[in-house]
Amino acid sequence: MLSLEQARQIAEQKLQQGNFTGTDDDLLVISEVTEIIDAWIFSYTSKKLLETGDTLKYGICGNAPFFISKTDGSISTFGTSFHLETMIKLYAEERNTWKLRLVNFSFNNVHNIYKLKNSLNLSFADIKQLKESNASLIDKGDKERLTELSSVLHANGIESVVTLD
């Protein structure tokens, strides 16, 4: 697991790549750090903006925060058109952070198979692949989306759980 200090070093190296002229007017600095379950999120701006508060003169465009994985130090970025909450969901989808698993599900019960197929709009090929691998893992990604799928399964009598792996 990457510590905050290790992630900060990676973030500062990334910011140095964006300091084109080397003058204080263009110097990029970390302005905020947010921790989520599997990453550190670094927001940044110009040093002069932090010092003066003058957004008209020293504000920068296109400075979307970047995510540094706690597990491998990789960097992910998303466009500035997204709000932070949306970026966090996109990151979870990209990294397959959360897992939706079936609990006590029998692929030998045809009624259960039809309920699973109809609940998640799966094809028969999808069901066949799950049955052949005897998989309990159904999907990966954002917790909120998977929790909604889990609720659909529960409403159809299929037990499932959303886990962090």
Range of the domain at 119: 98-164
pLDDT reported for residue 138: 93
Q: Kindly state whether residues 57 and 132 are assigned to the same domain.
A: no
Domain end point (choices 68, 94, 120): 94
The DSSP symbol for 41 reads: E
pLDDT reported for residue 59: 84
Domain count, the chain: 2
Q: Return the ∠ at Cα 58 (arms to 12 and 8), rounded to 5°.
A: 15
Q: Kindly state whether residues 66 and 81 are assigned to the same domain.
A: yes
Q: Kindly state whether residues 122 and 72 are assigned to the same domain.
A: no
Structure tokens, 60? 């920068």
pLDDT reported for residue 46: 85
Q: Which residue positions in the chain have pLDDT lower than 70?
A: 18-26
Q: Kindly state whether residues 19 and 54 are assigned to the same domain.
A: yes
Q: Kindly state whether residues 84 and 131 are assigned to the same domain.
A: no
**Domain harbouring 157, CATH code:** 3.30.1390
Domain end point (choices 71, 94, 117): 94
Q: Kindly state whether residues 112 and 76 are assigned to the same domain.
A: no
Domain end point (choices 94, 129, 151): 94
The DSSP symbol for 123 reads: -
Q: Kindly state whether residues 8 and 78 are assigned to the same domain.
A: yes
Question: How far is Cα 60 from Cα 126, in angstroms, rounded to an integer?
Answer: 47
Q: Kindly state whether residues 157 and 113 are assigned to the same domain.
A: yes
Give all strands (DSSP E) within the chain, no chain letters: 28-36, 39-46, 66-69, 75-77, 98-102, 137-141, 160-164
Which residues are registered as beta bridge partners of 79? none
pLDDT reported for residue 113: 93
pTM comes to: 0.80
Q: Kindly state whether residues 142 and 105 are assigned to the same domain.
A: yes
- Show Cβ contacts of residue 19 under 8 Å, excluding neighbours closer than 6 positions: 26, 27, 28
